[in-house]
Amino acid sequence: MSEDTDHPDLKSRNHPVREDMAYQLKVWRFERVGWYVLVLILVMALGGVFSRGLLSSREVRSDDGKVRVEYEMFHRNGSTNSMKITLTERPNSPVELELAGQLLEGFSIETLQPEPLRSRSSSQGMKLWMQTDADGQATLYITLRGDAVGLLRSKIISAGTSSVRLVQFIFP
Protein backbone atom coordinates (compact mmCIF):
# COMPACT_ATOMS: atom_id res chain seq x y z
CA MET A 1 0.00 0.00 0.00
CA SER A 2 1.65 3.23 -1.10
CA GLU A 3 1.14 6.30 1.00
CA ASP A 4 0.57 9.68 -0.60
CA THR A 5 2.60 12.00 1.62
CA ASP A 6 1.20 15.03 -0.21
CA HIS A 7 -2.33 14.36 1.01
CA PRO A 8 -3.36 17.05 3.54
CA ASP A 9 -4.63 14.51 6.08
CA LEU A 10 -1.14 13.00 6.36
CA LYS A 11 0.64 16.25 7.23
CA SER A 12 1.37 17.17 10.84
CA ARG A 13 -0.84 19.89 12.32
CA ASN A 14 -0.61 22.16 15.31
CA HIS A 15 -4.25 23.26 15.48
CA PRO A 16 -6.58 22.15 17.16
CA VAL A 17 -4.17 19.47 18.51
CA ARG A 18 -0.45 19.10 17.89
CA GLU A 19 0.14 15.95 15.76
CA ASP A 20 3.19 14.03 14.62
CA MET A 21 1.91 12.21 11.53
CA ALA A 22 5.21 10.41 10.83
CA TYR A 23 4.96 8.79 14.26
CA GLN A 24 1.22 8.13 13.77
CA LEU A 25 1.94 6.27 10.51
CA LYS A 26 4.42 4.05 12.37
CA VAL A 27 1.80 3.33 15.04
CA TRP A 28 -0.78 2.38 12.40
CA ARG A 29 1.76 0.10 10.69
CA PHE A 30 2.53 -1.57 14.04
CA GLU A 31 -1.20 -2.06 14.73
CA ARG A 32 -1.67 -3.65 11.29
CA VAL A 33 1.17 -6.12 11.96
CA GLY A 34 -0.38 -6.85 15.37
CA TRP A 35 -3.69 -7.74 13.73
CA TYR A 36 -1.93 -10.12 11.33
CA VAL A 37 -0.12 -11.80 14.23
CA LEU A 38 -3.38 -12.09 16.19
CA VAL A 39 -5.15 -13.72 13.23
CA LEU A 40 -2.20 -16.10 12.74
CA ILE A 41 -2.31 -17.15 16.41
CA LEU A 42 -6.08 -17.67 16.17
CA VAL A 43 -5.73 -19.87 13.06
CA MET A 44 -2.96 -21.87 14.76
CA ALA A 45 -5.14 -22.38 17.85
CA LEU A 46 -8.09 -23.51 15.74
CA GLY A 47 -5.76 -25.89 13.91
CA GLY A 48 -4.64 -27.49 17.15
CA VAL A 49 -1.08 -26.23 17.56
CA PHE A 50 -1.65 -25.46 21.25
CA SER A 51 -3.52 -28.67 22.14
CA ARG A 52 -5.85 -31.19 20.50
CA GLY A 53 -6.68 -30.66 16.86
CA LEU A 54 -5.85 -31.25 13.23
CA LEU A 55 -2.20 -30.17 13.45
CA SER A 56 -1.60 -31.96 16.76
CA SER A 57 -3.10 -35.40 16.11
CA ARG A 58 -0.56 -37.94 14.90
CA GLU A 59 -0.64 -41.58 13.89
CA VAL A 60 2.67 -43.38 13.44
CA ARG A 61 3.43 -46.98 12.53
CA SER A 62 6.47 -49.18 12.79
CA ASP A 63 8.18 -50.15 9.53
CA ASP A 64 6.66 -53.64 9.64
CA GLY A 65 3.21 -52.27 10.59
CA LYS A 66 2.94 -54.29 13.81
CA VAL A 67 2.94 -51.27 16.13
CA ARG A 68 0.61 -48.31 15.62
CA VAL A 69 0.43 -45.30 17.95
CA GLU A 70 -2.19 -42.55 17.88
CA TYR A 71 -1.24 -39.55 20.02
CA GLU A 72 -1.29 -35.77 20.37
CA MET A 73 1.92 -33.97 19.45
CA PHE A 74 1.17 -30.77 21.38
CA HIS A 75 0.23 -30.72 25.08
CA ARG A 76 -0.21 -28.16 27.81
CA ASN A 77 1.53 -28.61 31.13
CA GLY A 78 -0.94 -30.12 33.60
CA SER A 79 -3.52 -31.18 30.99
CA THR A 80 -4.40 -34.78 30.16
CA ASN A 81 -4.22 -36.35 26.72
CA SER A 82 -4.85 -39.84 25.49
CA MET A 83 -2.60 -42.20 23.57
CA LYS A 84 -3.69 -45.40 21.83
CA ILE A 85 -1.14 -48.14 21.13
CA THR A 86 -2.19 -51.06 18.92
CA LEU A 87 0.00 -54.15 18.54
CA THR A 88 -0.44 -56.93 15.99
CA GLU A 89 1.04 -60.36 16.79
CA ARG A 90 -0.01 -64.01 16.89
CA PRO A 91 -3.58 -64.57 18.13
CA ASN A 92 -4.09 -65.30 21.84
CA SER A 93 -0.45 -64.81 22.79
CA PRO A 94 1.33 -62.47 25.17
CA VAL A 95 3.16 -59.53 23.61
CA GLU A 96 5.83 -57.30 25.16
CA LEU A 97 5.69 -53.52 24.88
CA GLU A 98 8.28 -51.02 26.11
CA LEU A 99 7.69 -47.32 26.73
CA ALA A 100 11.14 -45.72 26.47
CA GLY A 101 12.82 -42.37 26.05
CA GLN A 102 11.56 -39.20 27.70
CA LEU A 103 7.90 -40.30 27.84
CA LEU A 104 8.02 -41.17 31.54
CA GLU A 105 10.19 -38.14 32.36
CA GLY A 106 7.79 -35.60 30.87
CA PHE A 107 4.45 -37.27 31.55
CA SER A 108 2.65 -38.98 34.41
CA ILE A 109 0.60 -41.99 33.40
CA GLU A 110 -2.89 -41.43 34.80
CA THR A 111 -4.51 -44.62 33.46
CA LEU A 112 -3.60 -47.78 31.55
CA GLN A 113 -6.56 -49.66 30.07
CA PRO A 114 -6.81 -52.60 29.92
CA GLU A 115 -4.51 -53.44 32.78
CA PRO A 116 -1.39 -55.24 31.48
CA LEU A 117 -0.75 -58.89 32.38
CA ARG A 118 2.39 -57.68 34.13
CA SER A 119 4.70 -54.70 34.11
CA ARG A 120 8.31 -54.01 34.99
CA SER A 121 10.57 -50.99 35.02
CA SER A 122 13.58 -51.10 32.74
CA SER A 123 16.68 -48.98 32.32
CA GLN A 124 15.06 -47.03 29.46
CA GLY A 125 11.50 -46.85 30.74
CA MET A 126 8.78 -49.39 31.45
CA LYS A 127 7.94 -52.81 29.99
CA LEU A 128 4.36 -54.06 29.77
CA TRP A 129 3.01 -57.46 28.73
CA MET A 130 -0.40 -57.65 27.09
CA GLN A 131 -2.57 -60.44 25.71
CA THR A 132 -3.62 -60.38 22.05
CA ASP A 133 -7.19 -61.27 21.11
CA ALA A 134 -8.40 -63.90 18.62
CA ASP A 135 -7.54 -61.53 15.75
CA GLY A 136 -3.97 -61.04 17.03
CA GLN A 137 -4.52 -57.46 18.19
CA ALA A 138 -3.77 -55.88 21.55
CA THR A 139 -4.77 -52.28 22.21
CA LEU A 140 -3.56 -50.19 25.13
CA TYR A 141 -5.21 -46.89 26.03
CA ILE A 142 -3.03 -44.53 28.07
CA THR A 143 -4.02 -41.22 29.66
CA LEU A 144 -1.01 -38.94 30.06
CA ARG A 145 -0.66 -35.78 32.16
CA GLY A 146 2.07 -33.38 31.04
CA ASP A 147 4.51 -32.62 33.88
CA ALA A 148 7.44 -31.07 32.02
CA VAL A 149 7.85 -28.24 29.53
CA GLY A 150 9.55 -28.47 26.16
CA LEU A 151 10.34 -31.02 23.46
CA LEU A 152 10.24 -34.72 24.40
CA ARG A 153 11.42 -37.64 22.27
CA SER A 154 10.14 -41.12 23.10
CA LYS A 155 10.07 -44.62 21.66
CA ILE A 156 7.48 -47.36 21.74
CA ILE A 157 9.16 -50.74 21.26
CA SER A 158 7.63 -54.17 20.82
CA ALA A 159 9.87 -57.24 20.97
CA GLY A 160 10.76 -58.50 17.50
CA THR A 161 9.57 -55.39 15.66
CA SER A 162 10.99 -52.01 14.78
CA SER A 163 10.39 -49.16 17.20
CA VAL A 164 8.07 -46.20 16.77
CA ARG A 165 9.48 -42.75 17.55
CA LEU A 166 7.28 -40.06 19.09
CA VAL A 167 8.01 -36.33 19.21
CA GLN A 168 5.86 -34.30 21.60
CA PHE A 169 5.96 -30.71 22.80
CA ILE A 170 4.53 -29.54 26.12
CA PHE A 171 3.61 -25.86 26.37
CA PRO A 172 3.88 -24.13 29.78
Name, in order, each residue with C-beta under 8 angstroms of 160's C-beta and a sequence gap of 6 or more: none
Task: Say whether pLDDT at 143 is over 80.
Answer: yes
Instruction: Provide the residue ranges of all domains of the chain, joining segments of one domain with +.
Output: 8-47, 57-171
If residue 26 lies in a helix (H) or strand (E), which one and from where to where?
A: helix 21-47
Please give the share of the chain, as a percent, with pLDDT higher than 90. 58
Q: What average pLDDT does this structure show over 77-98?
A: 92
Q: For the domain 57-171, what is the CATH code?
A: 2.60.40.10
Instruction: For residue range 24-73, list pLDDT tens digits in order.
Output: 889 999 999 999 999 999 998 888 787 777 788 889 999 888 999 999 99
Q: What average pLDDT does this structure show over 93-100?
A: 92
